[in-house]
Chains A and B, each alone.
Chain A
């Protein structure tokens, strides 16, 4: 079945450093969505990418969708302690309704 891989599993950075998490799907996706989950919380929708090669920005966060619509990345510039949490990518196939989540990247930030 469809699989979504995400690396790294954990990342620790000093406040102010940049952070990137990468997501790769075994199949072509109709879209990719990114969620953030704080410890003890639930996944909160961040953004959705639909078009091949699409790049979207939200303040210090930059999201990219690959040309082949099989990979994606999330880059955070100048991390802050409020960025702490687990970032999940979730892909959806052309036919399905299910979101297939990656395992997530847990980001910790020390000040």
Chain B
């Protein structure tokens, strides 16, 4: 069964450094998402992406964050200058519809630790 994959599985970085989290969505999916989950807390929506542009973003997704689909398979989340509070598990998700009935399939996540 096709799966969303994410790399790296773990990332440790110094505060102020840039990080890029990578995702390979399911191949025929067109809608892509990033969520994050701070340890012990709920999953929070960051951004949705379709047709090479952002469809929706949350308050968390400020100017320090950006997303890109650099080629036909990868979907990346960049954090320009990491802060301690960016430490979280970051999940990528994809779906093949953008409708209200879509199912979003989550990747295994990247655990980001900012020191």
The answer on a CB contact under 8 Å between A88 and B103 is no
CA distance A103 to B42 in the complex (A): 4
CA distance A102 to B50 in the complex (A): 25
The answer on a CB contact under 8 Å between A45 and B42 is no
A-B contact pairs, 17 of them (CB 8 A): A30-B100, A31-B100, A31-B101, A33-B104, A42-B109, A48-B101, A88-B42, A88-B43, A97-B33, A97-B48, A97-B50, A97-B55, A97-B98, A98-B45, A98-B56, A101-B42, A103-B41
* A106 and chain B: residue at smallest CB distance: B40
Report the interface size for chain B: residues with CB under 8 A from the other chain: 25
Q: List residues of B whose CB falls within 8 A of some A CB.
A: 31, 33, 35, 41-45, 48, 50, 55-56, 58, 89, 91, 98, 100-101, 103-109
Residues of A within 8 A of B50 (CB): 97
Known: A31-B101, A88-B42, A88-B43. A42 touches B108 (CB 8 A): yes
Q: Binary interface profile of A, 34-60, with partner B (CB < 8 Å = 1, else 0)?
A: 010000011111001010000000000
